[in-house]
């Protein structure tokens, strides 16, 4: 009998990779998506099958983490062996603008699912994964951060996730639910949301290279993050639910790099060397050959409270789950730039393509010298 998984946040970066991963493992996968006025399923459209076909193993349900009755009904219908709670208002800066909604979806949303498990009497049937985050560490108390490092959240998002973390621990202890927190450090991919810093950089740098954008505006270039590859990280989520008992695990690469370094690596991948001039709000990144300003600081993107440095120690996961990251930062940047280049070339101005003597792609390549 196939196992049944329910994924909240299936339309997001991690939801899409996890759905693919579980389908490959032979699971029947159900996902919860929000109603939206425009399509929001681009990341999972390739997994969709007409429900009228036979042997369909992928199902979608409309729902929202702010709607208890909807969650109870879906969980009752689906009878999942495993729930992966990935849905969240996941943007730290946006959480300063929408703190109440962030608390409702990210904190109380988690409680709603745990309560649904209890109300339905599924405590011994349904395992639960909570998407916890390195943002819980916030103000640095210890380097590197591990499971025992004290939390000190620095945003409404992180405070909401702190509640979700502890309610998951509490329901595990109080009701014996197999509930785990994955404390995942930043993880990125070619399908990363376009407003997170890595994808913002790879997209903008690519567009700059092809003359479709002039400049990239960013906030704090000094913050340091432990960036891994999302596909590696969804495997860790699954591994947590396959253990003998529930526990909480840090998932990280153990390396940290600044936003500035990420910018340098990205432009380097595109054949452009960036040099830096000025300090703080005046800092700019300049093309070493042309002297053109390509990167500029815009304090608009500064956060009211910032998390300066994150670097994770995932020895527990390595030891107990046998998990380790496979992709290093340079390779991740390469992968993201390649994918964004393909995307940018699709929308390269038609008039430039019109002069094509050979194939469209050949002409773009020769014209742009790539
Ligand atoms: P994304 O922002 O890419 O995806 C978030 C998902 O949640 C989307 O499917 C979104 O739907 C859905 N969602 C948002 N609000 C609601 C709601 N109220 N009800 C139902 N669904 C909702 O995030 P990631 O895939 O990057 O991250 C997955 C989870 O892991 C999140 O909880 C995030 O906070 C956490 N996390 C992420 C890390 C990372 O580096 N990526 C690191 C640590 C934790 P829609 O598509 O309609 O917007
Ligand atoms: P983060 O990711 O806040 O770590 O949360 P994000 O990519 O948004 O920011 C990383 C760092 O870059 C700095 N920064 C900018 N960030 C954005 N988004 N836009 C900018 O223009 C910019 N300029 C500088 C930020 O200040 C920050 O220091 C992500 C999310 O996926 C969370 O859901 C998850 O929990 C954590 O990672 C781990």
Q: Which residues pair with 277 in a beta bridge?
A: 284
Parse the chain into domains and list their residue ranges: 4-184, 197-222+258-306+328-368
For 104-119, the pLDDT digits (tens) are 999 999 999 999 999 9
* Coil, helix or strand at residue 315: helix
Q: Which of 212, 185, 191, 176 is nearest to 19 (CA)?
A: 191
For 281, the token pair is 């709000």
For 127-138, the pLDDT digits (tens) are 999 999 999 999
Q: Which of 5, 37, 178, 159 is nearest to 88 (CA)?
A: 159
Q: Which ligand is nearest the CA of 112, by number?
A: 1
Question: Does pLDDT of 255 surpass 70?
Answer: yes
The H-or-E segment that residue 182 falls in is strand 179-184
For 243-253, the pLDDT digits (tens) are 999 999 999 99
Looking at 3.40.50.300, 1.20.120.330, 3.30.230.70, 3.40.50.720, the CATH number of the domain 4-184 comes to 3.40.50.720
Average pLDDT over residues 64-91: 98
Q: Which ligand is nearest the CA of 228, by number?
A: 1
User: Which of 60-64, 185-189, 255-259, 363-367 is the least confident region?
Assistant: 363-367
Ligand 2 centroid to 51 CA: how many Å? 38
- The reply to whether 135 belongs to the active site is yes
- The reply to whether 133 belongs to the active site is yes
Confidence of residue 362 (pLDDT cuts 50, 70, 90): very low
Question: Does pLDDT of 370 surpass 50?
Answer: no
Count Cβ atoms below 10 Å from residue 11 Cβ, excluding itself: 24
Q: What is the pLDDT of residue 356?
A: 45
For 315-352, the pLDDT digits (tens) are 999 999 999 999 999 999 999 999 999 999 988 776 66
CA-atom Rg of the chain in angstroms: 22
Q: Which of 74, 177, 73, 173 is nearest to 126 (CA)?
A: 177
DSSP 8-state secondary structure symbol assigned to residue 150: P
d(CA 21, CA 235): 7
Q: What is the pLDDT of residue 241?
A: 98
CA angle 288, 340, 89 (to 5 degrees): 110
**pTM for this prediction:** 0.95
Residue 134 makes CB contacts below 8 A (sequence gap 6+) with: 145, 183, 184, 185, 186, 226, 250, 252, 310, 312
Average pLDDT over residues 29-34: 98
Average pLDDT over residues 214-232: 98
The average confidence (pLDDT) of the chain is: 94
Residues whose beta carbon lies within 6 Å of some atom of ligand 1: 8-9, 11-15, 34, 36, 40, 64-66, 86-90, 105, 131, 133, 184, 186-187, 193
DSSP characters over 23-88: HHTT-EEEEEE---SS---TTTGGG---TTSSS--EEEEE--TT-HHHHHHHHHHH--SEEEE--S
Q: What is the pLDDT of residue 353?
A: 53
Confidence of residue 186 (pLDDT cuts 50, 70, 90): very high
For 316, the token pair is 């527990």
Ligand 2 centroid to 196 CA: how many Å? 5
Confidence of residue 219 (pLDDT cuts 50, 70, 90): very high
What CATH fold (topology level) applies to the domain 197-222+258-306+328-368?
UDP-galactose 4-epimerase; domain 1 (3.90.25)
Cβ atoms of 153 and 106 closer than 8 Å:
no
- The ipTM is 0.99
- Locate all alpha helices (DSSP H) within the chain, ordered by sequence: 13-24, 68-78, 92-97, 99-102, 109-119, 156-175, 197-209, 230-241, 259-269, 315-320, 329-346, 350-354, 360-368
* Coil, helix or strand at residue 178: coil
d(CA 303, CA 295): 19
- The reply to whether 157 belongs to the active site is yes
Closest atom, ligand 1, to C-alpha of 90: 34
Question: Does pLDDT of 367 surpass 50?
Answer: no
Pocket test for ligand 1, best of 9, 19, 106, 107 (most atoms within 8 A of CB): 9
* Coil, helix or strand at residue 293: strand
Ligand 1 centroid to 314 CA: how many Å? 22
d(CA 203, CA 25): 32
């Amino acid at each position: 009998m196939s196992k049944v998984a329910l994924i909240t946040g299936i339309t997001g970066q991690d939801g899409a990779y996890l759905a693919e991963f579980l389908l490959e493992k032979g699971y029947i996968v159900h996902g919860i998506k929000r109603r939206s006025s425009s399509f929001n399923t681009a990341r999972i459209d390739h997994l969709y099958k007409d429900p009228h076909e036979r042997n369909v193993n992928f199902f979608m349900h409309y729902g929202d983490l702010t709607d208890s009755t909807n969650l109870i009904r879906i969980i009752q219908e689906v009878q999942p062996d495993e729930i992966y709670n990935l849905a969240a208002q996941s943007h730290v800066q946006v959480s300063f603008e929408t703190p109440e909604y962030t608390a409702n979806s990210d904190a109380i949303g988690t409680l709603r699912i745990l309560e649904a498990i209890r109300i339905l009497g599924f405590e011994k049937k349904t395992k639960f994964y909570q998407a916890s985050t390195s943002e819980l560490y916030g103000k640095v108390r210890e380097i590197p951060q591990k499971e025992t490092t004290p939390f000190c959240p620095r945003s409404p998002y992180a405070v909401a996730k702190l509640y979700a973390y502890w309610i998951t621990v509490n329901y595990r202890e109080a009701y014996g639910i197999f509930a785990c927190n994955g404390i995942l450090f930043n993880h990125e991919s070619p399908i990363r949301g376009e407003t997170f810093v890595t994808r913002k950089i790879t997209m903008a740098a690519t567009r700059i290279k092809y003359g479709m954008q002039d400049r990239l505006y960013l906030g704090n270039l000094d913050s340091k993050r432990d960036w891994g590859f999302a596909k590696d990280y969804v495997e860790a989520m699954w591994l947590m639910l396959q253990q003998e008992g529930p526990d909480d695990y840090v998932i990280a690469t153990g390396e940290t790099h600044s936003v500035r370094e990420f910018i340098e690596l990205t432009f380097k991948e595109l054949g452009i060397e960036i040099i830096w001039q000025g300090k703080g709000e005046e800092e700019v990144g300049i093309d070493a050959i042309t002297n053109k300003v390509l990167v500029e600081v815009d304090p608009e993107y500064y956060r009211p409270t910032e998390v300066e440095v994150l670097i994770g120690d995932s020895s527990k996961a390595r030891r107990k789950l046998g998990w380790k990251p496979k992709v290093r930062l340079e390779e991740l940047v390469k992968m993201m730039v390649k994918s964004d280049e393909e995307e940018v070339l699709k929308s390269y101005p038609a008039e430039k393509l019109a002069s094509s003597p050979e194939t469209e792609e050949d002409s773009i390549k020769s014209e742009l010298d790539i």
